[in-house]
Copies of this chain bind each other. A is one copy, B any other.
Amino acid sequence: MSTTGAAPGLSKAFYAIIAGVGGGTGRAVALRFARTYPVALLARGEASYADVVAEITRNGGEAVGVRADVSDEKSLAAALEVVKGKFQGKGLAVGVFNVSSPVSIKPFLETKLKDLDQSLAANARGLYNFAHATLPSLVESVSANPPYPPTLLVTGATAALRGSAGFGVFAAGKFAVRALSQSLAREFGPQGVHVAHVVVDGVIEGPRTKGYIVEGVEDGKLNPAAIAESYWHLHTQHRSAFTHELDLRPYAEKF
């Protein structure tokens, strides 16, 4: 295993799975990893991944999109069957958990129990299911001579570190995701699988945030391609120097 970080050419023996490709981050991460691996994209609706699959294919990469609700064990299992059929004989190199619940900011007494349940389902159950389904394959890949240590990457948020007023329901899900990520990092690191939690802090550039001007400056929003570079770097880290958590925020962000 090299420590140089130089990307090898397209690896046909391994593939990557990205769960949650609706937003800007998922798409950018898929495009970045598709430069090296065939990629499977999971989302609840085909509209979320169809364009990304097409774009990767146009670029000469290999991609498959499958509908899945990762908060539902059976839905996820069925989707992964499709993926395994498609990528038969290949090992899993990377799993990216990029699923989230909508950010909701609301006075606590105006929230409903079902808001909490949704946050916990999308975040905590989602990651639980995704990790449960992908870690056995990632562990298996450790001894299959992969280009880089098999990796599970988890998208987190500032709300994973801090429960602000009006953010309780959202933060509960994000804190739970961080708890799971830390436990998995400590349990699977010694087995050779790299688990990392990325705290994305700020507004991400994308169609939905086009109108926002953050801190009144250019590049005040996180560029998804820039986020994806750090995900790729995490994946390529040598096993003697794994990062378990890093933050990503625009230079102009107050924090």
Using CB atoms and an 8 Å cutoff, list the residues of chain A in contact with chain B. Answer: 3-5, 73, 107-109, 113, 116-117, 120, 124-125, 128-129, 131-132, 135-136, 149, 159, 162-169, 171-190, 192, 194, 205, 215, 219-223, 225-227, 229-230, 232-233, 236-255
Contact = CB atoms under 8 A, between A and B. Distances in A.
Contacts of A149: 251
Given A125-B113, A226-B237, A135 B163 contact: no
B113 A131 contact: no
B175 A179 contact: yes
A174 B175 CA distance: 9
A240 B226 CA distance: 7
B128 A229 contact: no
Given A107-B187, A246-B246, 19 more contacts: A3-B225, A3-B226, A5-B229, A108-B183, A108-B188, A113-B125, A113-B128, A113-B132, A116-B128, A117-B125, A120-B176, A163-B178, A163-B180, A165-B183, A168-B179, A190-B215, A190-B252, A221-B240, A240-B250
Give chain A's interface secondary structure class. Answer: helix
A154 B134 CA distance: 35
B172 A186 contact: no
A158 B244 CA distance: 13
How many copies of the chain does the oligomer comprise? 4
B163 A182 contact: yes
A42 to B, nearest CB: 18
B173 A176 contact: yes
A149 to B, nearest CB: 7
Contacts of A180: 163, 168-169, 171-172
Contact of A251 (B136, B163, B192, B221): B192
Nearest to A142: B251
B120 A132 contact: no
5 contacts: A186-B254, A205-B240, A223-B238, A227-B241, A244-B255
A179 B187 contact: no
Given A189-B253, A246-B246, A247-B245, A174 B179 contact: yes
Nearest to A127: B172
Contacts of A176: 120, 124, 172-173, 175-176, 179
Contact of A73 (B113, B178, B179): B113
Nearest to A178: B175
A111 to B, nearest CB: 8
